Structure 1
Amino acid sequence: MEDGRTPGVSRGRQRRDDMPWDVARQLAHAAARPGAVVTRTLAEADGCVLATPLVSPVAVPPVDRAAMDGYAVRGAGPWRVIGHVPAGCADSGALEDGQAKGIVTGAAVPAGATSVVRSEDAVVTGGLLEGPSEDGRHIRRAGEECKPGDRLLPAGVVVDPAVLGLAATVGLNRLTVIPRPTVAALVTGDELVHRGQPGPGRVRDAIGPMLPGLITRSGAAQVGVRHLPDSLEELVSALQETSADLVLVSGSSASGPADHLRPALTALGAELVVDGVACRPGHPQALAQLPDGRLVLGLPGNPFAALVAFLTLGVAAVHRLRGLPLPVLPQVAVRGGIACHPTSTRLVPIRLTRQGAVPVGHGGAAMLRGPATADALAVVAPGPAEAIAARLLPLDPGSRPWAG
């Protein structure tokens, strides 16, 4: 079957209670609980989400500053050069009409300065400076970027390097944030090998190497990948031992004799939030909540199906754990159309061209060649014929949605 892990073992047809793909994403997002608000140093806050607005305590710049290397001047030229503004000097004295002082970018301009003449435009002869001048030119005025009390960013913004730089610019050392959630992965399967080429009856694990990058790109902190045999007892024990906010379990989400996820969840008193999704590939995926609030995501054993499940339920849950809204997926035209499934959403690897989305092929549940060469997945709604438009699901869960 499409999403089964072991060849020759029947997984059965899609169940009638497999829920629509969009509903499953919404439920996964709603089930997660954002982390507790903390304060972090700037170095620790990277990748977290602002829990409160970023408000400037100061004016930036605090005084008028030179925007270029050159000469601070007053009035119309030519100007008599009377010295240089030392780097870091807070008060270099005032200029009178017809006077100039050498200055470097970022230095406080002398009182009375009306503009800065760039070094490349300046001609100095016998202590006299000549060059183009326009009132206010090449001077950053005090408070030009922000004033005390200005709201620079709202809550809910992801802290990236530019945000860290802005926080430092206004003199902040710490930020109030929702921390990145932790995600652990349990990869099950007696048939899996983790190095080299598999022998007869064995399968090289492709999901284990894929998960750490998916976790970190989604904005979570990856806390380990653990390999388990097909054992109910070991799976229950592993789920009890991990303290991660979200636990991924691959290769155990279907209904075959080696699939122990649902019995393990029952043993732990978990509540199934999603038990099968009407999508191809990836329909055996599941999401459950343990009594302590931790989430468990069941990934199918086939690699592309597992990738689809993470992008469907995992990304939705991680966004909520980070305090972020469910990503909105943009629409794109489909060149030549993509065949619809009568009852399930199709996730199809595509390339983006000027004429629209074009399938790249190799989109079977066990195949990663298609997604590895694709720009995105086309989300094709169920229907009786072909879709001429679809939504775009990023293959990189950390990328921002395309515009238009």
Structure 2
Amino acid sequence: MSPLATVEDHLAHVLDAVRPLPAETVDTADARGRVLVEPAHAAIDLPPFDNSAMDGFAVRAADVAGATLAAPVRLTVAGDLPAGTAEDPPLSPGQAIRIMTGAPMPAMADAIVPFEDTLGGLADSLGEIAVTAAPVVGAHRRRRGEDTRRGDAVLAAGVRLGPLQLGALAAAGVARLTVSQRPRVVVVATGSELVPLGEPLRRGQIPESNGTMLAALAAEAGAFVVRRESVDDEGSALASLLAEVTTGEDAADAVVFSGGVSAGAYEVVRTTVSQMRFGGVAMQPGKPQGFGVAGRTLLFGLPGNPVSSAVSFEVFVRPALLAMQGATELRRRRLRLPAGAGWRTPPGRRQYLPIVIDRTDPAAWKAVPASSGGSHLAGRLGGAEAYAIVPAEVTAVSAGDLVDVMLLD
């Protein structure tokens, strides 16, 4: 029996075959989930002008230096500045300008007095106000460029763009971004027992579900799923499909097979795809794995059991898709949490156990198994929000033991 490869060795073999995808330029608004190929630099100062951080009054701090609730200082309101205005009204001694949050700071003012520090209130504050608290120079004033200066790098190359990153870029006036192309992925579920979702089942048949799951996982990793197919165990349909999707200008960047990679009698991927190498990896679930390259297309052979397929995608396929896009972070976020219950682990194999996180005590989250660990338990996989990763040398996890947890969200 051939020795099992380590997870690290198999992943290294996969990543050695990855080649970066070409870059393209897209609108910032359309770049969610994409990976920056070049640093993104601010097109404007942020903020682009001095402005008010509060609804209130722009004043000369010296005019109200002695203001208190017992001895308020009265000022005449000489103007009104809503957000979006381009006006810059003059401000003479003894005067104030009513101003809203985000409106440009008058050039002659050096502080903002919030409405809360005045008598009179908003409704009748265009005549005279009484200031009841003395502001310091610069109070509630946002300075031009205090966040970012024009030309500064807002985000580095290799960053995957989420909502917060896109918001920062938009605020800095960045309208277009250089990002990696999305990997073109084909998902192929294998097995004569598979029936399209929604069709009636006879004895021995099951709904095809892995294709749906793997296509969603690929899309979440930034890929564009160009095709999703289900083939039987006969072999000719798989051979024809493989030739079609791995040749020509429209060749896929990756093909992800589910099933047909183990040592059984009807392992169609193993017997049909000569470009792949098959073997065992010291992990549970996900021991049988296949990988190869056809032209420029990476070929991933994942086990057919749903949990095995999901785990294998997370450990091997997702990092490869992110590496194609130039991402600098290939791993999901991880925590270290105490186990909320004990469970058994397979000797000599790293375990990836679906878990839920018990948040009953906000100060002491716990990792609780979502299932008994069976690789076929697709229904219970739907309740998982993370995987507990248990080293191969550990033989059992007891309640309270600290475990590494890979978050799926």
**What's the CA shift string for 1:105-132, capped at 9, x where partnerless?**
2211111212222334433478221233
Gaps of at least 5 residues in structure 1 are: 1-14, 400-404
After TM superposition, give the deviation of residue 48 of structure 1 in Å: 0.8
One-letter amino acid of the counterpart of residue 406, structure 2: L
Aligned positions of 1:118-137 closer than 5 A: 118-124=114-120, 127-131=127-131, 132-134=133-135, 135-137=137-139
Contact persistence 1:28–1:316 (CA under 8 A): no
One-letter amino acid of the counterpart of residue 285, structure 1: Q
Contact persistence 2:190–2:268 (CA under 8 A): no
One-letter amino acid of the counterpart of residue 208, structure 2: D
The match for 1:345 is 350
The match for 1:219 is 222
1:43 maps onto 2:29 in alignment: yes
2:99 counterpart (100, 103, 110): 103
Contact persistence 2:276–2:290 (CA under 8 A): no
Contact persistence 1:67–1:139 (CA under 8 A): yes
1:368 maps onto 2:378 in alignment: yes
Q: What is the distance in 2 between the residues matched to 1:384 and 1:82?
A: 75
Q: What is the distance in 2 between the residues matched to 1:22 and 1:338?
A: 24
One-letter amino acid of the counterpart of residue 54, structure 1: A
Which stretch of the first structure deviates more once superposed, 309-318 or 83-92? 83-92
- Tell me how many residue pairs correspond in the alignment: 377
The match for 1:248 is 256
One-letter amino acid of the counterpart of residue 344, structure 1: R
Which stretch of the first structure deviates more once superposed, 252-261 or 185-194? 252-261
Aligned positions of 1:157-306 closer than 5 A: 157-194=159-196, 195=198, 198-242=201-245, 243-266=251-274, 270=275, 272=277, 275-290=279-294, 292-306=295-309
355 and 143 in structure 1: CA distance in 2 versus 1, 3 angstrom threshold: closer
The match for 1:52 is 38
The match for 1:33 is 19
Contact persistence 1:362–1:370 (CA under 8 A): no
After TM superposition, give the deviation of residue 65 of structure 1 in Å: 0.8
After TM superposition, give the deviation of residue 355 of structure 1 in Å: 6.7
The match for 1:391 is 404
TM-score, reference length from structure 2: 0.84
After TM superposition, give the deviation of residue 337 of structure 1 in Å: 4.5
Q: What is the distance in 2 between the residues matched to 1:355 and 1:93?
A: 56
One-letter amino acid of the counterpart of residue 278, structure 1: A
Q: What is the distance in 2 between the residues matched to 1:339 and 1:23?
A: 25
The match for 2:67 is none
After TM superposition, give the deviation of residue 50 of structure 1 in Å: 1.4
The match for 1:358 is 368
TM-score, reference length from structure 1: 0.85
One-letter amino acid of the counterpart of residue 127, structure 1: G
Contact persistence 2:76–2:129 (CA under 8 A): yes
Identity %: 32
Q: Which has the higher contact order (CA 8 A, sep 6+)?
A: 1
One-letter amino acid of the counterpart of residue 392, structure 1: V
Runs of 4+ deviating beyond 4 Å: none
After TM superposition, give the deviation of residue 309 of structure 1 in Å: 1.5
Aligned positions of 1:47-126 closer than 5 A: 47-75=33-61, 76=64, 77-85=73-81, 87-124=83-120
Contact persistence 1:67–1:106 (CA under 8 A): yes
Which stretch of the first structure deviates more once superposed, 168-177 or 365-374? 365-374
One-letter amino acid of the counterpart of residue 391, structure 1: D
Contact persistence 1:381–1:390 (CA under 8 A): no
Gaps of at least 5 residues in structure 2 are: 65-72, 246-250, 359-363
199 and 178 in structure 1: CA distance in 2 versus 1, 3 angstrom threshold: same
Which stretch of the first structure deviates more once superposed, 27-36 or 352-361? 352-361
126 and 85 in structure 1: CA distance in 2 versus 1, 3 angstrom threshold: closer
Contact persistence 2:21–2:180 (CA under 8 A): yes
The match for 2:330 is 326
